[in-house]
Amino acid sequence: MKCCSPGAVRFPRMYQAFKSVEEIGKVINRSKSYVHKALKEGFTDREWEMLKEYSNRQDLQSERQSK
């Protein structure tokens, strides 16, 4: 995904791992508006596991724990 100000986002690795909020929504079976909200407030433990498994990126786990 594109990000205008990388220092201002909560989950920068998420923006590198996925192409769009629609792709994230398909992985966790949620709507686009839910994904926007979760990018601001955070994802559930199960959603993090699904995203990590789909993207094959271990650094997503460290991003989750640091927040």
Any idea what DSSP says for residue 58?
Answer: T
Q: pTM, whole model, 2 decimals?
A: 0.76
Separation between Cα atoms, residue 37 and residue 22, nearest integer Å: 13
Residue 61's pLDDT band (cuts 50, 70, 90): low
**How remote is the C-alpha of 3 from its chain's centroid?**
13
Residue 65's pLDDT band (cuts 50, 70, 90): low
Q: What is the pLDDT of residues 2-45, one digit of tens each?
A: 655 656 667 777 878 888 899 999 999 999 999 989 988 889 99
